[in-house]
Structure 1
């Protein structure tokens, strides 16, 4: 859903800045179909985790926040060489309405529909757009991995 929200927000001229993402969010909450997604996660230490389920949201993060300042993975460290796989399983729209206020306060981490997994790479078997830092970079399926210290970044 994050990509759908970014796609909608990028198509609007107003409002400007981060508030555009937050304004597009409720529109997509009501429309998003929660597609079936297969996921293969290679975790640090060599363990592989497989899952297949309907997801409301899937983000592969290297930092704690996504568009509009939503702290989806509050414990993420930009320089630890590890990705964070953030998943929200499909749920009734009435529960989704409860999720986003919790996201705004980074208080969503204990919800049963939310999971976060450390990863070195993720193979995502799903169709749809893929966005990186709010910009379109392709469509699924995809393999996303991390290359520690490959790019100097100022945060």
Structure 2
């Protein structure tokens, strides 16, 4: 059987970098007699999943996702729990999934050597249930101040990049109040107020922010992070420390482990940088749900 890969690409990621990477892959694949199928993503994740459902994945050696965490999240919806492996080429703004796998090369020869010569690993995924809808995520689900900033930033059509989130943070902070949560962790109820509440499968989000540095995508359990109420001045001090993971020893920060989480609050959920839904939601760990490569 000839070598074949399915490529899912966000053509606008990296301001042209994605297209250049794809062209480099195509040239190398032609020389190496590797068959290529290419699907472009859209803003509607169901469209990509529908297109992928029409592909005979059994004939493919791997799915390559070119872009950021958004395209990765779209691909997860189509291949979670299946035997095909995912290779991520990071050309987006976040790239936290690829960063967690420590596979950051853009060189075609190294990429194909990994796919065809190295063994893939199995990692866990998170599964979100909201009503009749289900969705998988690979990194972190957030529901607090950070999610509300994301929500506000997405309403800004005039500014892009980090500036958009800086503006959203400045606008959200004055009116923000600690959120009242009712949660259930593996069947045990708990109630509290918090600035942030996140469910982590991976360690980072937001382009390298180490929200839960000790999170392991292969341990079969979530690491939950709670930032209990602090003053807004203290929040401004604490939040930048997330980039390096130095927030973990702050007295208002709490970590818990759980496999099943039910969340009820007046807020919204984001996962892998994508809007999921308003709360309530249920979240469960799905062990060994995805085949992918992790740098040894």
Please indicate the TM-score interval, normalised by the length of the shorter structure.
Answer: 0.7 to 0.9
Q: Which residue of 1 aligns with 2:154?
A: 10
Q: How many residues align?
A: 149
Higher RCO structure (Cα 8 Å, ≥6 apart): 1
Instruction: Quote the Cα distance in structure 2 between the aligned partners of 1:137 and 1:143.
Output: 12
Instruction: Quote the Cα distance in structure 2 between the aligned partners of 1:25 and 1:34.
Output: 15
Q: Which runs of 5+ in 1 are unaligned?
A: 43-47
Q: Measure how far apart 1:51 and its partner are.
A: 2.5
Q: Which residue of 2 aligns with 1:150?
A: 289
Which residue of the other structure, out of 163, 167, 173, is the alignment partner of 1:29? 173
Instruction: Quote the Cα distance in structure 1 between the aligned partners of 2:272 and 2:292.
Output: 14
SS in 2 for 1:94: helix
Q: Which residue of 2 aligns with 1:112?
A: 251
Q: Which residue of 1 aligns with 2:202?
A: 63
Instruction: Say which one has the larger Rg.
Output: 2
Q: Measure how far apart 1:29 and its partner are.
A: 3.1
The 3 A distance-change label for structure 1 pair 4 and 15 is same
Instruction: Please give the per-residue CA displacement for 1:59-118, whole angstroms capped at 9, x wherever unaligned.
Output: 111111121321110011122221111111111112112111221221111111111111
Instruction: Please give the per-residue CA displacement for 1:5-38, whole angstroms capped at 9, x wherever unaligned.
Output: 211222334332x664455334333332212111
Let me know the Cα RMSD of the aligned residues: 2.1
Which residue of the other structure, out of 209, 233, 257, is the alignment partner of 1:94? 233
Normalising by structure 2, report the TM-score. Answer: 0.46
Instruction: Quote the Cα distance in structure 2 between the aligned partners of 1:8 and 1:97.
Output: 18
Decide which structure has greater helix share: 2
SS in 2 for 1:69: coil
SS in 1 for 2:290: coil
Instruction: Quote the Cα distance in structure 2 between the aligned partners of 1:21 and 1:148.
Output: 33
Residues 180 and 266 in structure 2, CA contact (< 8 A), matched pair in contact too:
no
Normalising by structure 1, report the TM-score. Answer: 0.83
The 3 A distance-change label for structure 1 pair 66 and 21 is farther
